[in-house]
Each structure stands twice: as structure tokens, then as C-alpha cells.
Amino acid sequence: MVFAEDGAPHLRLATEDDLPSLAAMAEAALPEAWPLPLMEEALRLDHHRMVVAEAHGSVGSDRVVGYLLASLVVPDAIELLQVVVAPNCRRSGIATALMHWLGARCLAGGRILLEVRGSNRAAVRLYRRLGFRQLATRHHYYRPAAPSTAREDALVMAFTRQ
Ligand SMILES: CC(C)(COP(=O)(O)OP(=O)(O)OC[C@H]1O[C@@H](n2cnc3c(N)ncnc32)[C@H](O)[C@@H]1OP(=O)(O)O)[C@@H](O)C(=O)NCCC(=O)NCCS
């Protein structure tokens, strides 16, 4: 069971012990996944926050079913760097819960910014549903997701806290 009785996954800050499974989750999900040493560095940086979502009722590294990494250098311009959910736990609100955690850290009048592959339909729909709007397109920004495909545009999106 992924959710607690109140319907929300359990969220907590990541620790070093989580990193191998988070790096493996990212590697399987993202063409631009960060390698483990970069994740370790991100965890050490004061202005980065790495939050994990845990499933209830399982043990060890299997408990972690998703994570979010963001840069909070300034509280009025948060940058979402990654959000990933394990394939067998998707479409059950885990990314939404992680994004709400981030939204709660955004000051009134502040913004959350992100870049996403234009072809990443799941992520684009998730962000739109949460109120993100497209600000710009960065043409040919991403490396090809697979050999023999073209470079891809990035959509720059922002959520503004009223
Ligand atoms: C994008 C991702 C994080 C979404 O995680 P998730 O936990 O499944 O998302 P949620 O369950 O909170 O979905 C919320 C809404 O987003 C949209 N959405 C999510 N996955 C979708 C999909 N595969 N197709 C279409 N819409 C989708 C839907 O509107 C969904 O609401 P609904 O289920 O009521 O229709 C997940 O698919 C993932 O890990 N993808 C690989 C990594 C990635 O691309 N991350 C984003 C770039 S860093």
C-alpha cells in the first residue's frame, strides 16, 4: 500500500542511504539522469532539497517510491530539478504530493521554475494540472533521448504563488 490512511504518501528528506536507489530510479526513468556522485553532491548542498516518498507496508530501499530534487537558493525563485516516481507506483498521486511539498515552500508572489522535455507528456500534464504555465521554449536543448533521434526542445514552465 502506497498511501497512509489519510490518503497521502509519507514524505521525508532523503539521506545518503537513499541515494543508490534514487540514482537507479533516475537512471531507468530519465535520459538526463544524474549519476550517483552528482546526487551525493546535491544532497550536501545547503540550498538543495531532496525529498523522498515512502510506501507504507514495505521494507528497506523498496519503501522509497519516488523523489523530488529542487534548488531553493532564493525562496521566491525555486527551481525544480527532478521529480521521479517508480514505474509500478505511478498515477497514484505521488508526484503530486511531492510537488505540493515544494509548493508549500514557495513564498507568496514567488515562483517555481522548471524545464521539461516537450515530448514528456506525463510530466507536462502533471505540471499543467498543478498550475504551471509555459514561459518559453529552449530549442534543441536536450540531448536525443535515444540514438538516431533528434535533439529535443525544452519547455520552460513556471508556477506563481498568489
Ligand atoms: C512524470 C511523473 C513524475 C508523474 O508521476 P506520478 O506519481 O505518476 O504522477 P501523479 O500520479 O501525481 O499524476 C498527476 C497527474 O499528472 C498527469 N499524468 C501523470 N502521468 C501521466 C501519464 N503517464 N500520461 C498522462 N498524464 C499523466 C495526469 O493529469 C495525472 O492525473 P490523473 O492520474 O488523475 O489523470 C512520472 O511519470 C515519472 O516518474 N516519469 C519519469 C521521470 C520524469 O519524466 N520526470 C519528470 C521530469 S524530471
Q: Look up the domain containing 140 and give its range.
A: 10-160
99 vs 107: which has the higher pLDDT: 99
CA of 85, closest atom in ligand 1: 39
- The sign of the torsion formed by the CA atoms of 134, 138, 143, 149 equals positive
Q: How far apart are CA 38 and CA 31, in angstroms?
A: 15
Q: Is 121 within the bounds of a domain?
A: yes
Confidence (pTM): 0.94
Residue 153 placed within a domain:
yes
Q: Would residue 3 count as lying in a domain?
A: no
Enter the C-alpha cell of residue 4.
497512509
Q: Is the dihedral of CA 139, 75, 93, 42 positive or negative?
A: positive
Residue 73, pLDDT above cutoff 90:
no
Q: What is the CATH number of the domain that holds 88?
A: 3.40.630.30
Q: Residue 1 domain-assigned? A: no
How many structural domains compose the chain?
A: 1
Asked if residue 5 is part of any domain, the answer here is no
Residue 123 lies inside a defined structural domain of this protein: yes
> Which pLDDT does position 107 carry in this prediction?
87
**Closest protein CA for atom 40 of ligand 1:** 84
Residue-level pLDDT at 7: 60
Strand ranges for the chain from DSSP E: 10-13, 48-54, 64-71, 77-85, 111-117, 133-142, 152-160
> 92 in ligand 1 pocket by Cβ < 6 Å?
yes
Radius of gyration of the chain (CA): 16
Is any atom of ligand 1 closer than 6 Å to the C-beta of 98?
Answer: no
